[in-house]
Structure 1
């Protein structure tokens, strides 16, 4: 009971931070005021990169929140180390609206830095999430249903996204504004990781 109360407070606090991050994302979705009717189509087309950045960040925050929610059904005990790792995750979550704004405003420029900042933030999100899960399991904070095989399966799944985004960081200095196309590799990478995990589970 003593450990349940701080664990619940940490989860409730995390939920609030995730909600605030999603709200901040939506605040950047706006068109300039006073657009002439004959310019509306052009302005909407010009806003597609901003909409893409918003949609990608929204999906990532939503998926990370669902993973975080699922993890804490299985994490039963609290520790200060777990709390600090959770704060590291929230740090990258609250950074995401800012780097999303930079990507949507300047992603079309030849400079690699908008893509680099965004990819580094996403990598930080998933690496801290994976680190928190691994820490909880190694410290015995998870329930008894989480064995070594289950721990590895979830950990490998969490490493798919940062692998793609980390690869895109050096690629950004060559590809420039075309770097976001690299991020679509996350779809086949996630599929391959899922199939490999399923195959290993079937063999065992």
Structure 2
């Protein structure tokens, strides 16, 4: 009867690197696929100067949509990098949560292309895009909770202040998007014809993000102040 031996620490480290490298590859592929949405218009042989903007407007909108998605994916990659630098081990639960997070990253090319179909009478693509953003933030929060709160042995020892602040950042990011998305959806459901209320609801997400940004700044300052007070005097 054969006995399955535990991998050596070096092998565990290599496997953890494979998990991170796979995630980086998914990010790179998602960004590459997004840029394929930009297409230059077919120009006739003679185009009056006053028609240039009319012809290039769809390409400009596609580029701005790509830029927004690039910023979002880049921000998620940075947050994922900040989280992974605390990892020293992994288990099956962490792998499943990473795959859940990467599912929404892979979904970005689809949600970005769908966003280009949004208009005043067909808002479903816009809600798909918001769901994608909310899914990424929810997955990051889920991973951070699993690592820092439920299985702290997966993280490197020490650095308690940095871990707590990063966990709080992920939590507030998810709550901001979830609250904002819910309010926007409810506004469209309750006031389907009131465009003024609908436009005002768009401002809720950046307003909540700004509020939580300063809230985290205050929490970080108070936490660091408490840490300094607890340190022994030299």
The TM tier, using the shorter chain, reads: 0.7 to 0.9
Unaligned runs of 5+ in 1: none
* Alignment length (residue pairs): 203
CA distance in 2, matches of 1:175, 1:33: 36
Of the candidates 160, 164, 175, which is equivalent to residue 146 of structure 1?
160
Give the direction of change, closer, same or farther, for the CA distance of 1:169–1:27 in structure 2 (3 Å limit). Answer: same
Query: Larger helix proportion, structure 1 or 2?
Result: 1
Q: What is the aligned-residue RMSD (CA, Å)?
A: 2.6
Q: Which has the larger radius of gyration?
A: 2
In structure 2, runs of 5+ residues without a counterpart are 1-8, 227-234
Higher relative contact order (CA 8 A, sep 6+): 1
TM-score (norm 2): 0.76
Deviations 1:149-170 (A, max 9, x none): 4354233343233432343333
2:131 alignment partner, one of 120, 131, 134 = 120
Q: Work out the CA distance in 2 between the residues paired with 1:70 and 1:181.
A: 34
Measured after TM superposition, the shift of residue 188 of structure 1 is: 3.1
Per-residue CA distance 1:38-57 (angstroms, 9 max, x = gap): 33311223444333322221
Structure 1 segment 41-80 matched on structure 2, within 5 A:
41-80=53-92
Normalised to the residue count of structure 1, the TM-score between the two structures is 0.86
Task: Give 1:165's aligned residue.
Answer: 181
Whether contact under 8 Å (1:134, 1:155) holds in the other structure is no
Match of 1:133 in 2: 144
Partner residue of 1:90 out of 90, 95, 102: 102
Cα distance in 2 for partners of 1:77, 1:100 equals: 34
Stretch moving more, 76-85 or 149-158:
149-158
Question: Partner of 1:33: helix, strand, or coil?
Answer: coil
1:15 aligns with 2:24: yes
Separation in 2, partners of 1:177, 1:98: 26
